[in-house]
Amino acid sequence: MPSVETLAVALLGFYATGYFVLAGADIGTGMVAPYLGRTDRERRLVIASFAPFLLGNEVWLVATAGVFVGCFPVLEGELLTGQFAVVVPLLAGWVVRDAGLWLRGRVTGRAGRGWRAGCDGAVVCGSWTVALAWGWLLAGVLGGTPGRVATGAVAVVTSVAVAALFAAHGLGFAAARLTGPPYERARRLVGRTRAGGSFALTAVLMAAVPVAAGTALPLAGAAADGATLGLLVPALLVVTPLLVAVQAGTWWVFRHRVTGPSYL
Protein backbone atom coordinates (compact mmCIF):
# COMPACT_ATOMS: atom_id res chain seq x y z
CA MET A 1 0.00 0.00 0.00
CA PRO A 2 1.73 3.19 -1.15
CA SER A 3 1.86 6.07 1.29
CA VAL A 4 -0.54 8.96 0.91
CA GLU A 5 2.36 11.25 -0.06
CA THR A 6 3.27 8.92 -2.92
CA LEU A 7 -0.33 8.98 -4.11
CA ALA A 8 -0.31 12.78 -3.96
CA VAL A 9 2.83 12.86 -6.13
CA ALA A 10 1.17 10.41 -8.54
CA LEU A 11 -1.94 12.62 -8.79
CA LEU A 12 0.16 15.70 -9.44
CA GLY A 13 2.09 13.85 -12.13
CA PHE A 14 -1.09 12.51 -13.70
CA TYR A 15 -2.75 15.91 -14.08
CA ALA A 16 0.45 17.60 -15.26
CA THR A 17 0.98 14.86 -17.85
CA GLY A 18 -2.62 15.21 -18.98
CA TYR A 19 -2.08 18.93 -19.48
CA PHE A 20 1.11 18.57 -21.52
CA VAL A 21 -0.25 15.82 -23.76
CA LEU A 22 -3.74 17.25 -24.32
CA ALA A 23 -3.37 21.03 -24.06
CA GLY A 24 0.08 20.75 -25.63
CA ALA A 25 -1.71 19.65 -28.79
CA ASP A 26 -3.96 22.70 -29.04
CA ILE A 27 -1.21 25.09 -28.00
CA GLY A 28 1.06 23.58 -30.66
CA THR A 29 -1.66 23.79 -33.29
CA GLY A 30 -2.16 27.45 -32.36
CA MET A 31 1.58 28.04 -32.84
CA VAL A 32 1.57 26.68 -36.39
CA ALA A 33 -1.88 28.03 -37.33
CA PRO A 34 -0.51 30.69 -39.76
CA TYR A 35 1.41 27.97 -41.61
CA LEU A 36 -1.54 25.57 -41.73
CA GLY A 37 -4.26 28.09 -42.55
CA ARG A 38 -3.50 30.70 -45.17
CA THR A 39 -6.95 32.28 -45.40
CA ASP A 40 -9.47 33.40 -42.82
CA ARG A 41 -11.60 30.36 -43.56
CA GLU A 42 -8.71 27.89 -43.40
CA ARG A 43 -7.55 29.27 -40.06
CA ARG A 44 -11.06 28.88 -38.75
CA LEU A 45 -10.94 25.24 -39.80
CA VAL A 46 -7.61 24.82 -38.01
CA ILE A 47 -9.17 26.19 -34.81
CA ALA A 48 -12.17 23.88 -35.27
CA SER A 49 -9.77 20.93 -35.05
CA PHE A 50 -9.35 21.50 -31.31
CA ALA A 51 -12.26 23.80 -30.43
CA PRO A 52 -14.44 21.20 -28.66
CA PHE A 53 -11.48 20.10 -26.53
CA LEU A 54 -10.08 23.53 -25.69
CA LEU A 55 -11.89 24.01 -22.36
CA GLY A 56 -11.42 20.39 -21.38
CA ASN A 57 -7.70 20.52 -22.20
CA GLU A 58 -6.64 23.64 -20.38
CA VAL A 59 -8.55 22.64 -17.26
CA TRP A 60 -5.88 19.97 -16.70
CA LEU A 61 -3.47 22.76 -15.78
CA VAL A 62 -6.04 24.34 -13.49
CA ALA A 63 -6.40 20.92 -11.86
CA THR A 64 -2.59 20.51 -11.68
CA ALA A 65 -2.33 23.85 -9.90
CA GLY A 66 -5.18 22.73 -7.62
CA VAL A 67 -3.48 19.44 -6.68
CA PHE A 68 -0.20 21.33 -6.26
CA VAL A 69 -1.62 23.93 -3.87
CA GLY A 70 -3.76 21.33 -2.08
CA CYS A 71 -1.12 18.64 -1.56
CA PHE A 72 2.09 20.71 -1.60
CA PRO A 73 1.01 24.23 -0.57
CA VAL A 74 4.39 25.50 0.65
CA LEU A 75 6.29 24.27 -2.40
CA GLU A 76 3.63 25.72 -4.73
CA GLY A 77 4.06 29.15 -3.17
CA GLU A 78 7.86 28.93 -3.30
CA LEU A 79 7.93 27.75 -6.91
CA LEU A 80 5.47 30.35 -8.22
CA THR A 81 7.10 33.19 -6.31
CA GLY A 82 10.59 32.05 -7.32
CA GLN A 83 9.55 31.74 -10.97
CA PHE A 84 7.49 34.95 -10.87
CA ALA A 85 9.19 36.45 -13.95
CA VAL A 86 8.31 33.33 -15.99
CA VAL A 87 4.85 32.60 -14.64
CA VAL A 88 3.53 36.14 -15.32
CA PRO A 89 4.26 35.94 -19.09
CA LEU A 90 2.96 32.36 -19.10
CA LEU A 91 -0.38 33.48 -17.68
CA ALA A 92 -0.49 36.59 -19.86
CA GLY A 93 0.14 34.45 -22.96
CA TRP A 94 -2.60 32.05 -21.87
CA VAL A 95 -5.08 34.89 -21.37
CA VAL A 96 -4.25 36.52 -24.72
CA ARG A 97 -4.47 33.20 -26.56
CA ASP A 98 -7.79 32.22 -25.00
CA ALA A 99 -9.30 35.63 -25.58
CA GLY A 100 -8.24 35.43 -29.24
CA LEU A 101 -9.77 31.97 -29.65
CA TRP A 102 -13.06 32.74 -27.92
CA LEU A 103 -13.65 36.15 -29.43
CA ARG A 104 -12.44 35.47 -32.99
CA GLY A 105 -15.74 34.29 -34.39
CA ARG A 106 -17.88 36.80 -32.52
CA VAL A 107 -17.58 39.60 -35.05
CA THR A 108 -18.87 38.38 -38.39
CA GLY A 109 -19.12 39.75 -41.89
CA ARG A 110 -16.74 41.98 -43.82
CA ALA A 111 -16.40 44.42 -40.92
CA GLY A 112 -14.86 41.65 -38.85
CA ARG A 113 -11.90 40.92 -41.14
CA GLY A 114 -9.52 43.10 -39.16
CA TRP A 115 -10.95 41.79 -35.90
CA ARG A 116 -10.36 38.18 -36.89
CA ALA A 117 -6.85 38.93 -38.13
CA GLY A 118 -6.13 40.57 -34.76
CA CYS A 119 -7.51 37.55 -32.91
CA ASP A 120 -5.39 35.22 -35.06
CA GLY A 121 -2.36 37.28 -34.07
CA ALA A 122 -3.35 36.96 -30.40
CA VAL A 123 -3.71 33.18 -30.74
CA VAL A 124 -0.31 32.73 -32.41
CA CYS A 125 1.60 35.12 -30.13
CA GLY A 126 -0.15 33.77 -27.04
CA SER A 127 0.56 30.15 -27.99
CA TRP A 128 4.26 30.86 -28.61
CA THR A 129 4.53 32.80 -25.35
CA VAL A 130 2.98 29.93 -23.40
CA ALA A 131 5.24 27.30 -25.00
CA LEU A 132 8.42 29.34 -24.58
CA ALA A 133 7.52 30.20 -20.98
CA TRP A 134 7.04 26.49 -20.23
CA GLY A 135 10.51 25.82 -21.59
CA TRP A 136 11.96 28.62 -19.51
CA LEU A 137 10.20 27.38 -16.37
CA LEU A 138 11.45 23.84 -17.02
CA ALA A 139 14.99 25.12 -17.46
CA GLY A 140 14.82 26.44 -13.90
CA VAL A 141 13.22 23.30 -12.46
CA LEU A 142 15.41 20.80 -14.31
CA GLY A 143 18.52 22.91 -13.63
CA GLY A 144 17.92 22.36 -9.93
CA THR A 145 16.95 25.96 -9.13
CA PRO A 146 13.15 25.93 -8.82
CA GLY A 147 13.30 29.01 -6.58
CA ARG A 148 15.25 31.07 -9.12
CA VAL A 149 14.60 31.95 -12.77
CA ALA A 150 17.02 30.21 -15.15
CA THR A 151 19.35 32.43 -17.17
CA GLY A 152 21.96 32.06 -19.90
CA ALA A 153 22.30 29.73 -22.84
CA VAL A 154 20.69 26.79 -21.03
CA ALA A 155 17.47 28.76 -20.55
CA VAL A 156 17.40 29.81 -24.21
CA VAL A 157 18.12 26.32 -25.55
CA THR A 158 15.56 24.65 -23.26
CA SER A 159 12.89 27.21 -24.15
CA VAL A 160 13.40 26.78 -27.88
CA ALA A 161 13.55 22.99 -27.61
CA VAL A 162 10.35 22.77 -25.57
CA ALA A 163 8.58 25.22 -27.89
CA ALA A 164 9.66 23.12 -30.88
CA LEU A 165 8.23 20.03 -29.18
CA PHE A 166 4.91 21.84 -28.63
CA ALA A 167 4.85 22.85 -32.31
CA ALA A 168 5.65 19.32 -33.49
CA HIS A 169 2.93 17.93 -31.21
CA GLY A 170 0.47 20.44 -32.66
CA LEU A 171 1.43 19.51 -36.23
CA GLY A 172 0.86 15.82 -35.50
CA PHE A 173 -2.51 16.63 -33.96
CA ALA A 174 -3.46 18.76 -36.97
CA ALA A 175 -2.46 15.96 -39.35
CA ALA A 176 -4.71 13.57 -37.45
CA ARG A 177 -7.69 15.94 -37.24
CA LEU A 178 -7.83 18.17 -40.31
CA THR A 179 -8.88 17.81 -43.94
CA GLY A 180 -8.26 19.83 -47.09
CA PRO A 181 -5.30 22.16 -47.71
CA PRO A 182 -4.43 22.63 -43.98
CA TYR A 183 -4.22 18.85 -43.68
CA GLU A 184 -1.94 18.66 -46.73
CA ARG A 185 0.40 21.26 -45.22
CA ALA A 186 0.55 19.48 -41.85
CA ARG A 187 1.15 16.19 -43.65
CA ARG A 188 4.07 17.68 -45.59
CA LEU A 189 5.94 18.53 -42.38
CA VAL A 190 4.92 15.51 -40.35
CA GLY A 191 6.10 13.15 -43.07
CA ARG A 192 4.65 9.93 -44.35
CA THR A 193 4.04 8.31 -40.98
CA ARG A 194 0.88 6.37 -40.33
CA ALA A 195 -2.05 8.62 -39.35
CA GLY A 196 -1.51 9.54 -35.73
CA GLY A 197 1.98 8.01 -35.60
CA SER A 198 3.74 11.34 -35.26
CA PHE A 199 1.18 12.47 -32.69
CA ALA A 200 1.75 9.34 -30.60
CA LEU A 201 5.50 9.91 -30.64
CA THR A 202 5.30 13.57 -29.58
CA ALA A 203 2.68 12.63 -26.97
CA VAL A 204 5.20 10.31 -25.31
CA LEU A 205 7.83 13.06 -25.37
CA MET A 206 5.33 15.60 -23.99
CA ALA A 207 4.43 13.18 -21.19
CA ALA A 208 8.11 12.83 -20.32
CA VAL A 209 8.45 16.60 -19.73
CA PRO A 210 6.37 16.91 -16.51
CA VAL A 211 7.69 13.56 -15.25
CA ALA A 212 11.26 14.87 -15.57
CA ALA A 213 10.23 18.12 -13.88
CA GLY A 214 8.56 16.19 -11.06
CA THR A 215 11.69 14.16 -10.32
CA ALA A 216 13.71 17.39 -10.15
CA LEU A 217 11.30 19.07 -7.70
CA PRO A 218 11.82 18.48 -3.96
CA LEU A 219 8.35 16.92 -3.60
CA ALA A 220 9.39 14.37 -0.97
CA GLY A 221 8.83 15.85 2.46
CA ALA A 222 7.01 18.88 1.06
CA ALA A 223 3.49 17.41 1.30
CA ALA A 224 0.69 19.03 3.26
CA ASP A 225 -0.25 17.88 6.76
CA GLY A 226 -1.50 14.30 7.13
CA ALA A 227 -4.98 15.38 8.24
CA THR A 228 -5.42 17.30 4.99
CA LEU A 229 -3.92 14.66 2.69
CA GLY A 230 -5.91 11.87 4.36
CA LEU A 231 -9.13 13.51 3.17
CA LEU A 232 -8.01 15.23 -0.01
CA VAL A 233 -6.10 12.43 -1.73
CA PRO A 234 -8.81 9.73 -1.43
CA ALA A 235 -11.44 12.23 -2.62
CA LEU A 236 -9.34 13.12 -5.66
CA LEU A 237 -8.62 9.45 -6.36
CA VAL A 238 -12.34 8.67 -6.41
CA VAL A 239 -13.19 11.59 -8.71
CA THR A 240 -10.31 11.21 -11.16
CA PRO A 241 -11.59 8.11 -13.05
CA LEU A 242 -14.95 9.85 -13.55
CA LEU A 243 -13.23 12.94 -14.97
CA VAL A 244 -11.17 10.77 -17.31
CA ALA A 245 -14.29 8.93 -18.45
CA VAL A 246 -16.12 12.19 -19.18
CA GLN A 247 -13.19 13.55 -21.18
CA ALA A 248 -12.85 10.28 -23.07
CA GLY A 249 -16.54 10.64 -23.93
CA THR A 250 -15.90 14.14 -25.30
CA TRP A 251 -13.07 12.89 -27.49
CA TRP A 252 -15.36 10.09 -28.73
CA VAL A 253 -18.18 12.50 -29.63
CA PHE A 254 -15.81 14.70 -31.64
CA ARG A 255 -13.53 11.93 -32.94
CA HIS A 256 -14.11 12.57 -36.66
CA ARG A 257 -11.84 14.77 -38.76
CA VAL A 258 -13.16 18.30 -39.12
CA THR A 259 -14.47 19.36 -42.51
CA GLY A 260 -16.23 22.56 -41.56
CA PRO A 261 -16.05 25.47 -39.15
CA SER A 262 -17.35 25.30 -35.59
CA TYR A 263 -18.64 27.89 -33.12
CA LEU A 264 -15.22 29.50 -32.56
Partner 1 sequence: MESDASEVLDLARLQFALTAGGHFLFVALTLGLVTVVACLQTKATFGGGELDARLVRFWGQLYVVNYAVGIVTGIVMEFQFGLSWSGLTHHAGNVLGATLAVETIVAFFVESTFLGLWIFGWNRMGRWAHLAAIWIVTLTAYASAYWILVSNGFLNNPVGHRVEDGRVVLADPAAVLTNPSALLAFGHVLAGALLTAGFFMAAVSAYHLFRRTPEWVFFGRSLRVGVFLAFPAAVVTAVLGGLQMASIAVLQPVKSAVFRHDTAELARLQAELTARFGPGDYIPSEAWTRGGALVMLIAFALMLYLTLAGFVLAFFRNAVFRFRVWHVALIAAVPLPYLAMIGGWVFREAGRQPWVVYGLLRTEDAVSDLSPAAMRFSLVVFTTLFAALVVLNAWLLGRHARRGPGDVALGRDERADADTDPRDGPPVGPADALPAPRY
Please report whether residue 109 would count as binding partner 1 according to CB under 8 A. Answer: yes
Q: Which one of 10, 34, 35, 112 is in contact with partner 1 (CB under 8 A)?
A: 112
Contact 244, 46 (CB under 8 A): no
Give the list of residues 6+ apart from residue 153 with CB closer than 8 angstroms, or none. none
Please report whether residue 98 would count as binding partner 1 according to CB under 8 A. Answer: yes
| Closer Cβ to partner 1, 62 or 200, answer by number | 62
Please report whether residue 96 would count as binding partner 1 according to CB under 8 A. Answer: yes
**Whole-angstrom distance, CA of residue 30 vs CA of residue 22:** 13
Stretch that binds partner 1, among 63-71, 159-167, 182-190, 212-220 (CB under 8 A): 63-71
**Whole-angstrom distance, CA of residue 34 vs CA of residue 39:** 9
Stretch that binds partner 1, among 67-75, 160-168, 191-199, 211-219 (CB under 8 A): 67-75
Q: Which of 207, 154, 219, 215 is nearest to 24 (CA)?
A: 207
| Closer Cβ to partner 1, 76 or 155, answer by number | 76
Q: Which one of 3, 77, 215, 234 is in contact with partner 1 (CB under 8 A)?
A: 77
Stretch that binds partner 1, among 40-48, 162-170, 186-194, 200-208 (CB under 8 A): 40-48
The runs of H, that is alpha helices, within 105-195 are 113-142, 152-177, 180-190
**Whole-angstrom distance, CA of residue 263 vs CA of residue 108:** 12
| Closer Cβ to partner 1, 110 or 194, answer by number | 110
Residues 225-264 that bind partner 1 (CB under 8 A): 225, 227-228, 231-232, 235-236, 239-240, 243, 246-247, 249-250, 253-254, 259-263
Contact 126, 94 (CB under 8 A): yes
Please report whether residue 10 would count as binding partner 1 according to CB under 8 A. Answer: no
Size of the site for partner 1 (CB under 8 A): 71
Closest distance of CB 181 from partner 1, Å: 14
Q: How far is CA 93 from CA 1, 98, 134, in A?
A: 41, 8, 11
Q: Which one of 26, 94, 213, 220 is in contact with partner 1 (CB under 8 A)?
A: 94
SS3 214: helix
Contact 70, 231 (CB under 8 A): no
| Closer Cβ to partner 1, 13 or 168, answer by number | 13
Q: Which of 91, 117, 105, 119 is nearest to 48 (CA)?
A: 105
Q: Which one of 3, 81, 151, 215 is in contact with partner 1 (CB under 8 A)?
A: 81
